Amino acid sequence: MALVSHYAPLGYFDFSLKNAVVIAICFIGSIPGFSAVYLFSKAKTTLDPRNPKRTSQLVTSGIYQFTRNPMYLSLALYLLAAAIYSGTYSPFLVLPVFIGLISYLQIAPEEEVLRAMFGQEYSEYCKKVRRWC
């Protein structure tokens, strides 16, 4: 984002509560991620997104009642906060690229593995809970 901001600024902005908004978004963005880490630890299942086959339990409670990907949601909110903090419009272009890439390259393969491991239970969960929120 910093490179996009520096080398391809699309215009600048500033507003009086910018820092407060950034802090608020970071705080709000931390809630889904920390909740997910807590629930995964409590369930004694893996946090490693590189190896979803090590998942030992399907977690569907807590924050997982509202989003299937709270950790990625947290990352997206941090990127939003960073874009606002930068004070230029160009970093906002990074956010949809991140969401598209993470959805296609990470989440879709994870979901295939989870569907194979947990079958109908996971399919029903996916019908009830949206991918992002």
**Comparing C-alpha atoms, which of 30, 33, 22 is closest to residue 81?**
22
In the chain, domain spans: 15-45+55-128
Q: Tokens standing for 28?
A: 């709000």
Give ∠ CA 2-103-46 in degrees, rounded to 5.
95
Kindly report the pTM of this predicted structure.
0.90
Q: Mind listing the pLDDT tens digit for each residue in 27-84?
A: 999 999 999 999 999 999 999 988 999 999 999 999 999 999 999 999 999 999 999 9
- 40/61 Cα distance (integer angstroms): 10
